[in-house]
């Protein structure tokens, strides 16, 4: 592989665990260890551990930090308490989505925003460009300061708790704590639809933290399982389901947009919300054999943006943008899977629910 690819501090751990390594957004990342299906099921039934250190971080601080973020992020940042977590999108003036982000409020004037690896540089430039017009705010690239592990599954919190010096923060909150001797920002968030935590730690502490969690039964899981898990619960992936030429309302992310805050793009988002979008992102399940993939056209208009075989449902599933009048659950779709028409049904999100 090219020498310009980056490695996380856990690269050697991945090789030792038998990972297949792929280039993902400029990083050499584990796509799978024992197998996507087995790792997927481990997360659904017990606990998986993912290295997501390729994700970027931007720290926004200073007395003007909250004002800047209120202008940049679609959600209402004034509602984000210290020790809280908030999901939002970053929009252009025309409402097109630049990224989807979790922001953690570490203090009154200190925020940490987690970016998608493929968008980090663009997000950072966007933050800096707009910070120039605000006083009392510093935007810092924190990507080299943090490694990130996601520990997910029904016993994930139990496993993380066993090595923590205090109680773990609840869902959608964050707190600093010591885990296996490392100073860790523990976040009650995730991308799998399971209970669990995401752990941000100094890169040099990541290997010992990984080892401690694996020793207690966390099953290494790669980006392949991360993708199938998030698809079952219909979480968006930037570059698949979110892109600059579509807005958050079309994507079903109106719930994290508060146009009255005046964020960049809010006028465009408000207009689409008022008139109703021409197309909507729906979840679907293939009726019969076949697996739809990103880019497959939907008959009558639209396209698949994510698709896989669901390990839990045993069927081809995915998400697609379709004309708004075809978006109601129960609507039948025909998807052109490389020349074969595969019947599918629009389903309620999420496709997979605990216990189903």
- CB of residue 35 to another protein, shortest distance in Å: 5
**Position among 51, 194, 198, 227 found at the interface with another protein (CB under 8 A):** 227
Q: Which stretch binds another protein (CB under 8 A): 32-40, 93-101, 197-205, 297-305?
A: 32-40
Interaction of residue 31 with another protein, rule CB under 8 A: yes
Closest CA to 98 of 67, 76, 129, 77: 129
Closest CA to 212 of 163, 158, 178, 169: 163
Parallel/antiparallel/unpaired status of strands 340-347 and 279-286: antiparallel
**Cis preceding linkage at 119, omega within 30:** no
Residue closer to another protein, measured from CB, 205 or 227: 227
- CB of residue 169 to another protein, shortest distance in Å: 32
Q: Which stretch binds another protein (CB under 8 A): 33-41, 125-133, 135-143, 208-216?
A: 33-41
Rounded-to-10 torsion of CA 20, 24, 29, 33: -40
In angstroms, the CA 269 to CA 339 distance is 36
Residue closer to another protein, measured from CB, 37 or 347: 37
Interaction of residue 291 with another protein, rule CB under 8 A: yes
Residue closer to another protein, measured from CB, 24 or 87: 24
Residue closer to another protein, measured from CB, 96 or 311: 311
Interaction of residue 293 with another protein, rule CB under 8 A: yes
Tell me which residues in 113-172 interact with another protein (CB under 8 A).
Answer: none
Residue closer to another protein, measured from CB, 136 or 289: 289
Tell me which residues in 301-330 interact with another protein (CB under 8 A).
Answer: 308-309, 311, 316
Q: How many CA atoms lie within 13 A of 106 on its CB side?
A: 17
**Position among 228, 240, 266, 326 found at the interface with another protein (CB under 8 A):** 228
Q: Which stretches within the chain are classed as H helix?
A: 11-16, 36-45, 65-72, 120-131, 156-162, 206-215, 223-232, 266-275
Q: How many CA atoms lie within 13 A of 61 on its CB side?
A: 10
């Amino acid at each position: 592989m090219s020498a310009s690819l980056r490695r996380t501090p856990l690269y050697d751990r991945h090789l030792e665990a038998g990972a297949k390594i792929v280039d993902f957004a400029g990083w050499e990342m584990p796509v799978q260890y024992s197998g996507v299906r087995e790792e997927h099921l481990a997360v659904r039934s017990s606990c998986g551990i993912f290295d997501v250190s390729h994700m970027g971080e931007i720290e926004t601080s200073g007395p003007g930090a909250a004002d800047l973020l209120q202008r940049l992020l679609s959600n209402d940042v004034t509602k984000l308490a210290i020790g809280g977590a908030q999901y939002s999108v970053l929009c252009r003036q025309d409402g097109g989505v630049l990224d989807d982000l979790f922001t953690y409020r570490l203090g009154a004037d200190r925020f940490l925003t987690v970016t998608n690896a493929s968008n980090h540089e663009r997000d950072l430039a966007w933050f800096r460009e707009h910070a120039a017009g605000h006083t009392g705010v510093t935007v810092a690239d924190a990507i080299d300061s943090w490694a990130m592990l996601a520990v997910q599954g029904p016993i994930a919190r139990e496993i993380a708790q066993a090595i923590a010096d205090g109680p773990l923060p609840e869902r959608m909150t964050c707190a600093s704590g010591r885990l296996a001797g490392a100073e860790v920002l523990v976040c009650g968030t995730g991308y799998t639809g399971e209970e669990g935590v995401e752990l941000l730690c100094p890169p040099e502490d990541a290997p010992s933290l990984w080892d401690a969690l694996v020793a207690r039964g966390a099953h290494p899981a790669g980006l392949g399982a991360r993708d199938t898990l998030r698809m079952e619960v219909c979480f968006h992936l930037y570059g698949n389901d979110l892109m600059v030429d579509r807005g958050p309302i079309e994507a079903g992310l109106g719930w994290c947009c508060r146009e009255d805050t005046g964020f960049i793009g809010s006028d465009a988002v408000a207009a689409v919300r008022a008139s109703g979008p021409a197309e909507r992102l729906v979840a679907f399940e293939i009726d019969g054999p076949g697996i739809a993939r990103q880019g497959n056209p939907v008959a009558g208009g639209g396209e698949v943006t994510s698709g896989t075989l669901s390990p839990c449902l045993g069927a081809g599933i995915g998400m697609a943008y379709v004309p708004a009048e075809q978006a109601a659950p129960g609507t039948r779709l025909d998807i052109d899977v490389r020349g074969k028409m595969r019947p599918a049904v629009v389903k309620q999100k999420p496709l997979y629910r605990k216990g189903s």
